[in-house]
């Protein structure tokens, strides 16, 4: 789902000059190893990011710093993202990356239009485990010409109330919807669809699975409750029941 951008490993940081994005490669970056590699210091990498066809272009430099473990559940300053203008090399922002574990941030860099406003945004991985991952997001604000964090990015990162940390997240650019999915054993599932309005996620469709009372020695059925936003309120629109083989039952 995430659009991968070009990457350039830098041996050292030199002074920026006019058209600092010239010469950046256009091939795909290396694939990110989900489990990561903590052997040695990850490299500093740079990307050319054009937020819109014919629009502003930026040099995004992802620079890790030595990781100093502070204990479980404690995020530390583990790197920086420098945003410079391609046109003249002027540094516009220095965004700190807070992480809970050492990660090759440059290799996890992704760009996509997460708020469906026609401009590309970007993110980097900040935490992962066997069944889930968490990313830090920045969205492009055309008014200021800067990359910012807001209610939408905080929700995506799992920091806001009812945040989506640990959920599978996908984008539907045709419907302008963000979809989240979570599954546990015994029918416990949740698929939710959100529309983005003013950089706020608004729930518009949800399918929640639960386990029905067990009948005799048979495996319990699964009940899926479907809800949709109607007239500004989420309302139940359907209830479906399935047996252990996934077949509909009454």
The pLDDT tens digits along the chain (250 residues) read 444 333 333 333 333 345 778 776 333 344 343 334 445 678 898 988 999 988 899 999 999 998 887 777 778 898 999 999 998 999 999 999 998 888 888 888 889 999 999 999 999 988 877 666 788 999 999 999 999 999 999 998 876 556 677 678 889 999 999 999 888 777 888 999 999 999 999 999 999 998 887 666 577 888 999 999 999 999 999 999 988 777 888 7
| pLDDT given for residue 33 in this prediction | 39
Write the burial class of residue 61 (CB in 10 Å: 0-12 exposed, 13-18 middle, 19+ buried): buried
| pLDDT given for residue 217 in this prediction | 57
| pLDDT given for residue 12 in this prediction | 30
| pLDDT given for residue 34 in this prediction | 37
Sign of CA dihedral 3, 8, 9, 12: negative
Q: End-to-end distance of the chain based on CA atoms, in angstroms? A: 37
CB count within 10 Å of CB 231 equals 5
Distance of CA 44 to the CA centre of its chain: 21
Q: DSSP states of 125-193 as a string?
A: EEEE-SS-EEEEEEEEETTTTEEE--HHHHHHHT-STT--TTSEEEEETTTTEEEEEEE-STT-EEEEE
Taking the C-alpha atoms of 83, 114, 156 and 160 in order, what is their torsion angle to the nearest 10 degrees? 90
| pLDDT given for residue 3 in this prediction | 42
224: left (phi over 0), alpha (psi -120 to 50) or beta: beta
| pLDDT given for residue 102 in this prediction | 86
Contact 153, 140 (CB under 8 A): no
Give the bridge partners for 159, in sequence order: none
pLDDT tens by residue, 162-171: 667 767 888 9
Q: What is the pTM of this model?
A: 0.79
Give the bridge partners for 64, in sequence order: 79
| pLDDT given for residue 17 in this prediction | 41
Closest CA to 44 of 80, 10, 78: 10
Q: How many CA atoms lie within 13 A of 116 on its CB side?
A: 16
* DSSP label of 2: P
88: left (phi over 0), alpha (psi -120 to 50) or beta: alpha
| pLDDT given for residue 201 in this prediction | 93
């Amino acid at each position: 789902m995430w659009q991968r951008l070009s990457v350039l490993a830098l041996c050292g940081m030199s002074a920026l000059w006019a058209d600092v994005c010239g010469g950046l490669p256009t091939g795909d970056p290396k694939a990110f190893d989900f489990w990561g590699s903590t052997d040695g210091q990850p490299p500093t990498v740079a990307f050319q990011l054009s937020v819109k066809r014919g629009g502003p272009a930026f040099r995004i430099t992802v620079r890790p710093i030595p990781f100093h473990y502070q204990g479980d559940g404690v995020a530390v300053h583990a790197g920086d993202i420098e945003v410079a203008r391609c046109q003249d090399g002027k540094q516009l922002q220095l965004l700190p990356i807070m992480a809970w574990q050492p990660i090759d941030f440059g290799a996890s860099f992704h760009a996509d239009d997460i708020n469906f406003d026609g401009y590309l945004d970007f993110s980097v991985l900040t935490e992962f485990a066997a069944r889930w991952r968490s990313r830090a997001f920045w969205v492009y604000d055309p008014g200021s010409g800067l990359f910012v964090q807001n209610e939408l990015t905080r929700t995506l990162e799992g920091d806001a109330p009812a945040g989506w940390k640990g959920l599978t997240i996908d984008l539907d650019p045709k419907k302008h919807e963000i979809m989240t999915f979570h599954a546990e054993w015994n029918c416990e599932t949740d698929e939710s669809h959100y529309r983005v309005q003013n950089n706020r996620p608004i729930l518009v469709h949800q399918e929640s699975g639960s386990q029905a009372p067990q009948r005799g020695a048979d495996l319990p059925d699964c009940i899926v409750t479907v809800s949709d936003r109607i007239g500004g309120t989420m309302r139940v629109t359907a209830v479906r029941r399935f047996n252990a083989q996934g077949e509909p039952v009454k």
